[in-house]
Structures are given as C-alpha cells and as structure tokens.
Amino acid sequence: MPRTYKLATDGASRGNPGPASIAYAVHDDDDNLLHEHATTIGKATNNEAEYQALIHALRHLAKKTSGRIHHVSDSQLLVRQLKGEYRVNARHLRPLHEEAKRLKASFDAVHHEHVPREDRRIQRVDELANRALDEA
C-alpha cells in the first residue's frame, strides 16, 4: 500500500454555470497510475465542478485508505479555501466546502497544493474532464 496517495483533480464547465464534468487521477508513491475517473455532473459552475471532483475522489480513496493524500489542483480558489487561507463567501460553495472538509477528516492527512495548468497531472485530468463533456 502506498505511503501517500497522489491525487490530481479537475472540474470543467462550459458556461458558468453550464454543462459540467469532473475528473481525477490517483497515483502511488512511484507515480504509477492506480485509478482515473471522469464523468459529467449536470449543470454547475467551474468552482462547483472543482469541488465535486475533489469530493468524488475523496469518496473513492476512502474505500482504499485512511492514510495520507497529496492533492494537486490548478484551482487556486479551491486550494486556498481548503487550506483556510480564503473564506468561502459564495453561498453555493459552502455545502461543497463542508462536505470536502468532512471527507478529509477520514484521512490521516490531506495536503493541498496549487499547481499551474501546465502541470502534466492537471493536463491529464483536464483532458479526461473535457472528453467526458464531449462524449455527453
């Protein structure tokens, strides 16, 4: 079992709000792909999709481990809100933020890192999220 699961998430929305999708990829300590998933989630804003991607991924990981998670996202808002650096002012994001926090509590640790869109992990989950929208 990996010491730390590496998680990359992304949400996509065509329109804000509009048709939306989520994607995530889970890797082990050696960067071997363990699981990736993408699906549409109906109508949502981009920020809602970013939160939903993380929530779906944490639900998946909770079935596998209670250990450590290193999460990367290109959503600065998501990462800073989850780190407590930004307040959650948008009323529609508050329930998603609370759900993400609740799920995080089931792990030993969840570290969030903001990475640029050019990061290969983000490019992959972005591709998966957009493919899900294209195929819908």
Contacts (Cβ under 8 Å, ≥6 apart) of 127: 23
Residue 57 belongs to what domain range?
4-135
SS3 68: strand
- The pLDDT tens digits of the residues spanning 11-59 come to 999 998 999 999 999 999 899 999 999 999 999 999 999 999 999 999 9
- Assign residue 69 the CATH number of its domain: 3.30.420.10
Mapping DSSP to helix (H, G, I), strand (E, B) and coil, where does residue 82 land?
A: helix
Radius of gyration of the chain from its Cα atoms, rounded to whole angstroms:
14
As given in the structure block, the two tokens for residue 72 are 């990367």
Q: How many separate domains does the chain show?
A: 1
Strand 33-44 and strand 68-73: the pairing is: unpaired
Q: What is the pTM of this model?
A: 0.96
Specify the pLDDT at position 1.
66
What pairs with residue 68 in β-bridges? 4, 109
